Structure 1
Amino acid sequence: MAGRERFEYDLQELQKRLLEIGNFAEEALHKAIEALETQNIELALEIMDDDSKADLLYEEINDMAILLIAKQQPVAIDLRRIIVAIKIATDIERIADFAVNVAKSTIRIGSEPLIKPIEHIKKMHQISTEMLRMSLEAFNDEDITKAKKVADMDDQVDDLYGETIKELLQINLQKPEFLPQITQLSFVCRYLERAADHVTNISEHIFYLVKGRQYDLNN
């Protein structure tokens, strides 16, 4: 295999690993919200046990990227592709960590009946995971239009976060005995809001890949 063909092959393998860790993080978040809604402690524990898989994938992506740089000494956009892959893997690994944090909150709530339906939390999760899927597509296609659309969706998550926190604070005024659960549900909202922020980071990395400069898409 010629040098350029080998490089392209290795780059595709790197992108496959990114898709793999992205799918893992998405599934972990899905399980975490399911565990919270059904108060399934066993599922929450399973999510915590599986977190090492995300760590291993993250390390593998970093090792592959470092080897590519060392062996191929890429320049310009090829080097940016590898750097961006490392940055995206870092953001996705953090998203997987947030799934673990949601699972921990589920365990802390335990079997105590939920004080309210978690529809807003489920909507935040739905938007965040849709953003993640779209951002990985945008990376593979080097599509900054889609990347910008993903970043714009973050506002929806922020709005839901604000609304839900207000609702929880109002419940706390009426039922202060539920403060521990209210605290944990507030944490869950924060984890999902931060997950969406990390996906926005991915969109910014895609802009850097295509344009060669940094863009702030949070404003």
Structure 2
Amino acid sequence: MRPREHYEQQLEGLHTELRALGQMVIVSITRAIAALRQQDIEAAKQIIADDDRIDQAQYRLEEHALVVMATQQPMARDLRRIVAAIEIASELERIGDYSKGIAKITVRHGDQPLVKPLMDIPQMAEQAINMLGTALDAYVNEDAAAARKLSNADDTVDDLVSHMRSGLIEMIQSDPSVTSRAVDLLFVTHNLERIADRTTNIAERVIFIDSGAIVELNS
């Protein structure tokens, strides 16, 4: 096997690991929102426990990427591809932490009724998950155009967060007895907002691979 072919195989291995890590995170978000809606404390506890798998997958990917850098000594675009993989893995691990944070809220207050129907929160989560899938596909395909479009999707999440936040604040003002549970939902919306922000960070890495330029999509 020629050196370049071996190198490309190593890069494809990184892509495979990153896709797997991304899928683990997407499943975690999906499960966290489902546990919240159903007030399923046991499911939420399992999500928290499973976060260690995400952490370990990130460490393995970073180690693999560093081995490729050390053995292949990539330059220019190839180096940017590998550095981006490390940075994206870090963003995914942090997104997993936000998912775990949502699960912790369910554990804390899962034995109490929700203060309002969660129509906006699942919609936010779906938008954030779709963004994350698009960003990961953009990385694998090195599709900077698709990555740039995620800025608009992030704006949509921000609008949903603003609407949800206003409603919860009004609820607290009209009925202080729900403050604790309403504040928890405010934290959930914040976590989903941060998931979307982290996803735009991933998109920025894709643009960096393509052009070497540092672009802020959610400024």
TM-score, normalization by structure 1: 0.98
Secondary structure at the counterpart of residue 216 of structure 2:
coil
TM-superposed deviation, 1:218? 1.4
Paired position in structure 2 for 1:46: 46
Q: State the alpha-carbon separation in 1 of the partners of residues 169 and 218 from structure 2.
A: 26
Paired position in structure 1 for 2:96: 96
Paired position in structure 2 for 1:196: 196
Q: List, as ranges, runs of 4+ consecutive aligned residues in structure 1 with deviation greater than 3 Å.
A: none
Indicate whether 1:118 and 2:127 are aligned.
Answer: no
- Asked whether the equivalents of residues 208 and 214 of structure 2 are also in contact (C-alpha less than 8 Å), the reply is yes
Task: Tell me the alpha carbon deviations over residues 87-138 of structure 1, each in whole angstroms, 9 at most, x when there is no partner.
Answer: 1111111111111000001111122111111111111100000000001111
Indicate whether 1:170 and 2:167 are aligned.
Answer: no
Task: Tell me the alpha carbon deviations over residues 48-83 of structure 1, each in whole angstroms, 9 at most, x when there is no partner.
Answer: 010011001100110011000100000011100000
TM-superposed deviation, 1:148? 1.1
Q: State the alpha-carbon separation in 2 of the partners of residues 132 and 105 from structure 1.
A: 23
Aligned AA (2:119): E
Q: State the alpha-carbon separation in 1 of the partners of residues 106 and 158 from structure 2.
A: 22
Q: State the alpha-carbon separation in 2 of the partners of residues 80 and 173 from structure 1.
A: 50
- Segments of structure 2 that go 5 or more residues without pairing to the other structure are none
- Asked whether the equivalents of residues 108 and 184 of structure 1 are also in contact (C-alpha less than 8 Å), the reply is no
Indicate whether 1:30 and 2:30 are aligned.
Answer: yes
Q: State the alpha-carbon separation in 2 of the partners of residues 41 and 122 from structure 1.
A: 18
Paired position in structure 2 for 1:82: 82
Aligned AA (1:103): A
Paired position in structure 2 for 1:161: 161
Paired position in structure 1 for 2:143: 143
C-alpha RMSD of the superposition: 0.8
Secondary structure at the counterpart of residue 218 of structure 2:
coil
Q: State the alpha-carbon separation in 1 of the partners of residues 92 and 152 from structure 2.
A: 19
- Asked whether the equivalents of residues 36 and 110 of structure 2 are also in contact (C-alpha less than 8 Å), the reply is no
How many aligned residue pairs are there?
219
- Asked whether the equivalents of residues 151 and 199 of structure 1 are also in contact (C-alpha less than 8 Å), the reply is no
TM-superposed deviation, 1:2? 2.1
TM-score, normalization by structure 2: 0.98
Identical aligned pairs, as a percentage? 37
Aligned AA (1:207): I
Indicate whether 1:216 and 2:216 are aligned.
Answer: yes
Secondary structure at the counterpart of residue 152 of structure 2:
helix
Q: State the alpha-carbon separation in 2 of the partners of residues 106 and 30 from structure 1.
A: 14
TM-superposed deviation, 1:175? 1.4
Task: Tell me the alpha carbon deviations over residues 125-172 of structure 1, each in whole angstroms, 9 at most, x when there is no partner.
Answer: 000000000011111111111111122200010011111011001110
Q: State the alpha-carbon separation in 2 of the partners of residues 26 and 151 from structure 1.
A: 19
Paired position in structure 2 for 1:184: 184
Q: State the alpha-carbon separation in 1 of the partners of residues 87 and 145 from structure 2.
A: 20
